[in-house]
């Protein structure tokens, strides 16, 4: 217990009545009633306690203190005449004998009201984050984060994993996002990079003879912000297992995560092992997304063969996906408003028709599909009062539009989303390669370190022209929860011969592999164990558990959407002397 207090502001109860106590905290509010009578609320980390001022001496002290000053109150506990059942300390109050200012707030007005800070402008909240964090509603997310990280550490340790930290200053590596570079003062013209992930280091640990590794790893990527992605830096539960398969990784996370989600989550129901597994291409075709929200029961069906010749021009080219929404009572106006929202998100227009109480087709594009009623009824299992959303275009566009429609209408139409639960699934069998949009040539689709399913043999078949390289899948997997991708992982390509052949498929030879990944390539040449791993995002996990829509709500000191820390003023200019020491010249115009 801190020596200047006897109790916290959430600790006093009826059994303390008559005791002399000392509490400390922030003066949250003062409500004056008459000349020498006031109610003062004192708040600390743990809660609040009411202090009742009843004499001129104490009143004169209180009047000279601004709200949010830190104070010490020494006095006697008594029973409240008017109790507040909503507060743990609502049965008692303190009559002060001494009030002392410990840290004075020198401003008469605050940027926002502390207990309503979440209603303030985000820029103000981030600028005065230390005030924002005084709000118990904001603070509880950070406490939740601490508890979740502690639970993850304990669970991983119980599963035999060792927590090992890996370097922050390392070499730049082509891992998909832009690096943050750090100039090396002692090596002019050369740079360190902050790690996008500990990917290579954790694989090197496996080659070093460590069997199970994990860490709560800081990762740095120079990429734009999203609701579920913080710019600049983030944390992940990084793990790797030697002599392990995909099944071993799945077994660990299916054992570790559900109890934590059930205990700490906004919802107390979480998927149990085994999590559902969905092939990547099947996820796109059925849910229109590789991050399906399985709390929604809507799915897409391909009706291209049925509707391509129905006379409606948008259905004539490409593919047509249909999403039947049963028991839909939305009006035409409501339907078209939701479809307009979908169009903004998906970038392509979708269409609709509906069956009425008798099963007749009406509304939207009904006149174009009337002749196909029987086939559509059979293909989509149509019942009366069913809304059908139709998404068309190039395959990828039609799938994306279907995915957006599933999420939008699943949430909007009652009975199609069981919101209060955590539904996990594994997305598996990712394509190893794809045709690059810009290059028009074969490129890695996701992680170049993944083992191709079938190993060297399947790569040789592709090289000989016996199979299409685009048909090769990787032993790679994503963990998805409630439509949010928590992590990607893979069985690693630990064999130098297979690694070189995989890179040759994308026009990179052995020398390129040695140059780009020298430590890992050389280490694998000394005998590497098969290994696999994954790295669920801690920030995203806590965001889901807290029921927040923005990841910034669960990060103690987040950057804004432009990757700026407006509280600390970062990024900032540095002195010419610092630049000279680092052999750096700033060229071109510098934006203010």
CB 283 within 8 A of CB 427: yes
How does pLDDT run across 426-450, given as a tens digit for each residue? 999 999 999 988 888 999 988 888 9
φ and ψ at residue 48, rounded to 5 degrees: -130, 155
CA nearest 478: which of 464, 466, 489?
A: 489
How far lies 3's CA from each of 23, 72, 104, 405, in Å? 10, 12, 20, 59
The mean pLDDT value for 195-206 works out to: 94
pLDDT digit string, tens, across residues 526-560 = 999 999 999 999 999 999 999 999 999 999 999 99
431, burial (CB in 10 Å: exposed 0-12, middle 13-18, buried 19+): middle
pTM exceeds 0.85 for this model: yes
What is the token pair recorded at 113? 């009201």
374 is written with which tokens? 């029987």
Tens digits of residue pLDDT in 113-162: 999 999 999 999 999 999 999 999 999 999 999 999 999 999 999 999 99
Domain boundaries, the chain: 14-103, 137-268+534-555, 296-412, 424-528
User: Which stretch of DSSP H or E encloses residue 220?
Assistant: strand 212-221
What average pLDDT score do residues 93-106 get?
A: 96
Q: How far apart are CA 242 and CA 25, in angstroms?
A: 50
Q: How high is the pLDDT of residue 485? A: 95
Assign domain 296-412 to its CATH superfamily: GAD-like domain (3.30.1360.30)
Condensed to tens digits (0 to 9), the pLDDT of residues 58-70 reads: 999 999 999 999 9
pLDDT of residue 2: 54
* Tens digit of each residue's pLDDT (9 = 90 or more) over 231-288: 889 999 999 999 999 999 999 999 999 999 999 999 999 999 999 999 999 999 999 9
Region of 199 please: left (phi>0), alpha (psi -120 to 50) or beta: alpha
Strand partners, 26: 43, 70
pLDDT band at 177 (very low <50, low <70, confident <90, very high): confident
Per the rule left: phi > 0, alpha: psi between -120 and 50, beta: everything else, 307 is alpha
CATH of 14-103, one of 2.40.50.140, 3.30.1050.10, 3.90.550.10, 1.10.150.20: 2.40.50.140
Can you identify the CATH homologous superfamily of domain 137-268+534-555?
A: Bira Bifunctional Protein; Domain 2 (3.30.930.10)
Quote the CA–CA distance of 173 and 200 in Å, as a whole number: 9
Prior bond of 468 cis (ω within 30°): no
Residue 174 has pLDDT above 70, yes or no: no
Q: 73: which strand partners? A: 23, 99
């Amino acid at each position: 217990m801190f020596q200047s207090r006897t109790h916290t502001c959430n600790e006093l109860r009826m059994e303390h009545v008559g005791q002399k106590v000392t509490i400390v905290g922030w003066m949250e509010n003062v409500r004056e009633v008459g000349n020498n009578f006031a109610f003062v609320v004192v708040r600390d980390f743990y809660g609040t306690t009411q202090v009742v001022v009843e004499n001129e001496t104490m009143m004169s002290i209180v009047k000279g203190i601004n709200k949010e000053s830190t104070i010490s109150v020494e006095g006697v506990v008594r029973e409240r005449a008017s109790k507040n059942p909503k507060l743990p300390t609502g049965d008692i109050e303190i009559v002060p004998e001494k009030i002392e200012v410990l840290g004075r707030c020198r401003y008469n007005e605050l940027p926002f009201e502390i207990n309503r800070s979440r209603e303030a402008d985000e820029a103000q909240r981030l600028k005065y984050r230390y005030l924002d964090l005084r709000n118990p509603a904001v603070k509880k997310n950070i406490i939740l984060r601490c508890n979740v990280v502690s639970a993850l550490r304990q669970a991983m340790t119980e599963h035999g994993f060792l927590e090992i930290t890996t370097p922050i200053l390392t070499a730049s590596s082509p891992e998909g996002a832009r690096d943050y570079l750090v100039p090396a003062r002692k090596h002019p013209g050369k740079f360190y990079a902050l790690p996008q992930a500990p990917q290579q280091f954790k694989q090197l640990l496996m080659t070093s003879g460590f069997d199970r590794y994990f860490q709560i790893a800081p990762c740095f990527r120079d990429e734009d912000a999203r609701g579920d992605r913080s710019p600049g830096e983030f944390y992940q539960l990084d793990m790797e297992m030697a002599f392990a398969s995909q099944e071993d990784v799945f077994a660990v996370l299916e054992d570790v995560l559900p109890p934590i989600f059930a205990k700490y989550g906004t919802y107390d129901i979480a998927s149990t092992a085994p999590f559902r597994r969905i092939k990547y291409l099947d996820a796109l075709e059925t849910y229109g997304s590789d991050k399906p929200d399985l709390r929604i029961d809507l799915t897409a069906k391909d009706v291209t063969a049925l509707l391509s010749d129905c006379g409606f021009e948008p259905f004539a080219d490409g593919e047509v996906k249909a999403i039947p929404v049963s028991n839909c009572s939305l009006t035409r106006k409501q339907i078209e408003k939701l479809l307009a929202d979908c169009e903004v998100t998906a970038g392509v227009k979708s269409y609709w028709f509906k069956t009425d109480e008798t099963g007749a087709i009406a509304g939207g594009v009904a006149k174009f599909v009337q002749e196909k009623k029987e086939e559509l009824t059979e293909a989509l299992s149509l019942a009366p009062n069913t809304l059908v959303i139709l998404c068309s275009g190039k395959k990828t566009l039609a799938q994306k539009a279907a995915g957006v429609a599933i999420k939008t209408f699943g949430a909007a139409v009652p009975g199609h989303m069981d919101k209060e639960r955590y539904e996990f699934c594994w997305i598996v069998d990712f394509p190893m390669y794809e045709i690059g949009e810009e290059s028009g040539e074969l490129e890695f689709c996701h992680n170049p370190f993944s083992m191709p399913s079938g190993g060297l043999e399947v790569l040789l078949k592709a090289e000989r022209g016996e199979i299409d390289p685009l048909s090769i899948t990787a032993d790679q997997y994503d963990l998805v929860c409630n439509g949010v991708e928590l992590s990607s992982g893979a069985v690693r390509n630990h064999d130098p011969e297979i690694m070189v052949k995989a890179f040759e498929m994308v026009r990179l030879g052995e020398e390129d592999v040695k140059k780009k990944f020298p430590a890992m390539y050389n280490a694998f040449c000394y005998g590497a164990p098969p290994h696999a791993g994954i790295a669920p995002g801690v920030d995203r996990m806590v965001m889901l558990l807290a029921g927040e829509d923005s990841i910034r709500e669960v990060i103690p000191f987040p950057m804004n959407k432009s990757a700026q820390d407006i509280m600390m003023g970062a990024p900032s200019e540095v002195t010419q002397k610092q630049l000279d020491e680092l052999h750096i010249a700033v060229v071109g115009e510098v934006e203010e």
